[in-house]
Structure 1
Amino acid sequence: MWDNNTFGVYRETKDSFIFSLKNGNIQKSILSRVKEPKKALYYYKKIFQNYCGPYFGHFYMYSDQSNFTLDCESGSFDYGIYEKPIRTSGNFSIIDYEVFKVNRKTK
């Protein structure tokens, strides 16, 4: 669960996943579920939040210009926190991203 008042720590969730749609081709898309729930999400310190977006285990968003589409500073590394990386290596720009919170139905 995202919390704007928490920073500089990892947050645990066993339900986290990341995915990448490869040029709209669903067969080449990647879905990666969390393997290490204690490191599923990282909250950056407030002084970095103008430059850093969500950090999901090994997938991070960063921009010197506070705009992920203008530079190639975001990256992905395989630290084994999620099942598989959604990028092979290197830095890249991000055109669009969404963060969802899924609530379970209560009976």
Structure 2
Amino acid sequence: MAKHDPDLSRLFHALSDATRRAMLAQLAEGPATVSDLAAPTGLRLPTIMRHLAVLEEAGLITTTKGGRIRSCAFVPQALDPMRTWMDDQRAIWEARLDRLDDYVMKLMEARK
């Protein structure tokens, strides 16, 4: 994955806000209406809709409209690019730390 992948940037941006993370946590329990998502926040509907638009643009949720009710559902597989990126970063840093450990051990042995 490229260092500056716009899809990855959208995912991190979407998750950077506590309100959006709370909405995703609620949606992880199951689909919910916009009203259900708005209730615990105390935010006005236009603000909630902007948050949902960010989540939808990142591919983290899908929305459907039935009559006057809009429902949202979490798309967990949308987190896969983040998971892949973080796994790659973990591997890089673990390798660096292993090399540092080897170097420090060699220095300590040389001092003996």
Q: Please say which structure displays the higher CA radius of gyration.
A: 2
Query: Which structure is higher in strand share?
Result: 1
Structure-2-length-normalised TM-score: 0.26
State the structure with bigger RCO (CA 8 A, min sep 6), 1 or 2.
Answer: 2
